[in-house]
Amino acid sequence: MGNEESTSSDVCHGSSQQQPRILKARDLPSVAKYMKSDDCRNVFLMVRVSTSAGIPDFRSPDTGEAANLARLQLDRPEDVFDIRFFRSNPHPFYALAKELYPGRHRPTITHSFVRLLETKGLLGTCFTQNIDTLERQAGVSAVKLVEAHGSFASQSCIDCKAPFDANEIRKLIQDDKIPRCGRCKGLVKPDIVFFGEALPPVFHKKLANLAEADLLIVIGTSLQVQPFASLTYLVPGSCPRVLINLEEAGDFGTRRDDVILLGKCDSVIKDLAKELGWYKELKAAWAKTRTSLENAPSTDEESEEEPEGQASDAEETAEERLKREIAWLTESVDATLRITDDLKERVQKETKEEVVGTLSPSSSAEKAEDEGNLEKDEPDS
């Protein structure tokens, strides 16, 4: 499946076997017609669309990084995003963070579609599971964005919560150094939600806005993580809901105005843009994202097409993703940590010292009070 036309599906079941109330039919043209009507003025999005930008799915314990992270003496691959493990051994996370920092990956067509919705005055709020800031790089305003699992957009001390300079942490991580708080000497990390941490307050604050939705579009997420997945229940019963994914997810198909569009996320989005008459604008918006890359050539004359053969959230098989992530992590971890016997010995020594320093009554109490744990996510479809 390259850049050929995506396959739409109106497979629905349950109560949705009845005729839709709002849409003419449960298909892409009907969604586009509704979006162009005066009845659709507040579109909400739920997205998880990073792998098509070349970013592996590190949060899932079932993907290929396990083979490589085991070399870092991790019992579980998800430990790299576990706050208690991070306290005792931050090295694996910083190794991955070096490759994930903004500027190394480019937003996709789907990210640019979010921006285009805002430009058209239709975007209510985009709830994203992505931590890579690609929505921001595509031009989506921070006020229209809820990064449910945090992101690299800010950073702070995990102990005293003091903010940390963005340029400084980036330089330290690129130089393979451990960022430390200038106030309390605690570890500093990007404000990404780790297992064992609560979701950001803005997530809960914005939930009430879903009651105002005229349309909900869910893109590239398998709806396995709570409480993120529960957002699909918070829109009004009369609000059409659209799922763009490789396979069905959540309770889509149980409402009369549910639409399920099965296919590659980026390809379905391009089809929707064509149906809306926005395709040229979408291409122009995506072309501008080239400047978000480090060392990108500056030019205003871009007529590029979306790259051929670049895997999207909805198009890779499990085996393909496994192979890609194993190769990616082998290269990045080796290049970043350069694991030699000497370095292993030093890491083990530092880890032992940090563990001794954190084994206090307060740290034990903190472990007991951890809340808001994220459930294990499945790979994007």
Residue numbers belonging to the annotated binding site for NAD(+): 57-59, 129-132, 221-222, 245-247, 265
Per 3-state DSSP, the chain is made up of helix, strand and coil in percentages (nearest 5) of 40, 10, 45
- In the annotated binding site, the residues are 57-59, 129-132, 157, 160, 181, 184, 221-222, 245-247, 265
Binding positions for Zn(2+) are 157, 160, 181, 184
The helix/strand/coil state of 352 is helix
Long-range contacts of 81-86 (CB under 8 A, 24+ apart): 81/192, 81/194, 81/195, 82/194, 82/195, 82/196, 83/158, 83/194, 83/195, 83/196, 83/197, 83/370, 84/196, 84/367, 84/370, 86/158, 86/187, 86/189, 86/194
Q: Is 153 within 8 Å of 191 (Cβ atoms)? A: yes
Catalytic residue, chosen from 91, 105, 111, 149, is 149
- Pairing type for strands 188-192 and 150-157 reads antiparallel
CA pair distance 304, 371, nearest whole angstrom: 46
Verify whether residue 91 is a known catalytic residue: no
Angle value at C-alpha 109, between 103 and 113, nearest 5 degrees: 110
Question: Which positions are catalytic?
Answer: 149
